Amino acid sequence: EPEVTQTPSHQVTQMGQEVILRCVPISNHLYFYWYRQILGQKVEFLVSFYNNEISEKSEIFDDQFSVERPDGSNFTLKIRSTKLEDSAMYFCASTDEGRASPLHFGNGTRLTVT
């Protein structure tokens, strides 16, 4: 069964450094998402991406965050200057249809900012 893959599984970085989290969505999917889960808290939406542009973003997704689909298979999340509070699990998700269709999640990247 096709799956969403994310790399790396764990990233440790120092405060103020830039990180890029990478995702390969399911190949025929058109809608891509990033969510995050701070330890012990709910899964929360960051951004959605369709047709090579951001379709929606949360208030968490400020100017420090950006997303890109550099080629036909990868989908990346960049954090320009990491803060301690960015430490979380970051999940990429994709779906083949738009609204109200199930999202398929990757296994996440655990980001630790020291």
Binding footprint of other proteins on the chain (CB under 8 A): 4, 6, 31, 33, 35, 41-45, 48, 55-56, 58, 91, 93, 98-108, 110
CB of residue 7 to other proteins, shortest distance in Å = 13
CB 10 within 8 A of CB 24: no
Residue 114, amino acid: T
CB of residue 104 to other proteins, shortest distance in Å = 6
Residue linked to tokens 């968490």: 60
CA 68/CA 83 separation, integer angstroms:
21
Complex with other proteins: residue 20 or 30, whichever CB lies closer: 30
